[in-house]
Amino acid sequence: MAMRQTPLTCSGHTRPVVDLAFSGITPYGYFLISACKDGKPMLRQGDTGDWIGTFLGHKGAVWGATLNKDATKAATAAADFTAKVWDAVSGDELMTLAHKHIVKTVDFTQDSNYLLTGGQDKLLRIYDLNKPEAEPKEISGHTSGIKKALWCSDDKQILSADDKTVRLWDHATMTEVKSLNFNMSVSSMEYIPEGEILVITYGRSIAFHSAVSLDPIKSFEAPATINSASLHPEKEFLVAGGEDFKLYKYDYNSGEELESYKGHFGPIHCVRFSPDGELYASGSEDGTLRLWQTVVGKTYGLWKCVLPEEDSGELAKPKIGFPETAEEELEEIASENSDSIYSSTPEVKA
């Protein structure tokens, strides 16, 4: 029976959403952080999109955001020439790391003791978060502004991308190991630790490389310019989105296009699978985040599969259902946090 994809729409931002990241799976579920040009990164429950809080403090567009594995800390990169580290439980700002230009990307080591940053000044910086007053280590070599920087290989190496180059660095020696050059601008980069896979998008291409050697594995061509792509944790599927407002889902092994969905009202800037692979999130120029089911029709999070009457000719449609106590819980949360960083609650809707 055919099933119709029904995404959850997470509103609350007032400008384009340019980056998003999931935490690992914690005893409290998993979490989602979004970076937006409105300067107000938001934290949400990952499986439902429910708003938890907004990190207030940046004075410019936020270009990058990330969570550590256990979702206790968040980091953001912004146009106000700073990166900030936050307590993701209380929402408090822990430290502000001043830069000399716009900061575009941030990433924690696995133990959350170090933060990697990169931006328009073409330098990679490594901050010891236990010694915030100390000067960061700096790695130079990029010839244009850094768009993305990620720890890899158990934090022994660093991957970074500028306009048309992806570079692999050795953390211990702070030297370049290898680089990849592209004939057009690199739009995104994702690192998959399981299997050491690097996902790179440029133009209409989605390319997979070894994160250890940068050797090519395979590549796909999409029907439109792609801004972001993400590989399923089990490496079964790939999702990608870009300039035609559509999300594409591919079979990773064959490259066959399995599905495509149009839900956003602007270009898609970022897309990521959840850590359990049950959904993927997309952020767009239209200012919204949307959550999409990997397997349409499965009961998960706020989705509940409801089969239509037999012979009615209707498509089976996943129903968005809130628990009976949801409104009471939201009211309690709002009242408890009325004097904290939290303001009015952005809505989640089908």
pLDDT in tens, 76-107: 999 999 999 999 999 999 999 999 999 999 99
pLDDT, average across residues 48-63: 97
Neighbouring residues of 313: CB distance < 8 A, sequence distance ≥ 6: none
pLDDT value of position 132: 83
Report the candidate in 261, 270, 193 with the shortest Cα–Cα distance to residue 230: 270
Contact between 42 and 17 (Cβ < 8 Å): no
How crowded is residue 52: how many other Cβ atoms within 10 Å of its Cβ?
19
- Whether 334 shows a pLDDT value over 90: the answer reads no
pLDDT band with cut points at 50, 70 and 90 for residue 4: confident
Q: State the pTM of this model.
A: 0.88
- Residue pair 344/29 in contact (Cβ under 8 Å)? The answer is no
Cα–Cα distance, 73 to 331 (Å, whole number): 25
pLDDT over 90 for what percent of the chain? 83
Amino acid, single-letter form, for residue 19: D
Q: Which domains does the chain have, with CATH numbers?
A: 16-181 (2.130.10.10), 185-294 (2.130.10.10)
CB count in 10 Å sphere of residue 184: 12
CA distance 216 to 198: 9
Under the banding of pLDDT at 50, 70 and 90, the label for residue 306 is confident
Average pLDDT over residues 155-177: 96
Long-range interactions of 73-76: CB distance < 8 A, separation 24+: 73/108, 73/112, 74/33, 74/41, 74/43, 75/106, 75/107, 75/108, 75/115, 76/35, 76/41, 76/106
Is it the case that residue 231 has pLDDT exceeding 80?
A: yes
pLDDT over 70 for what percent of the chain? 87
Retrieve residue 204's tokens.
Answer: 């209409």
pLDDT at 142 over 70: yes
Confidence of residue 53 (pLDDT cuts 50, 70, 90): very high
Contact (CB, 8 A) for 282 and 49: no
DSSP bridge partners of 169 = 158, 176
Residue 323 pLDDT: 41
State the pLDDT at residue 38.
97
Using the predicted structure, report yes or no on whether residue 244 has a pLDDT greater than 70. yes
Mean of all residue pLDDT scores within the chain: 89
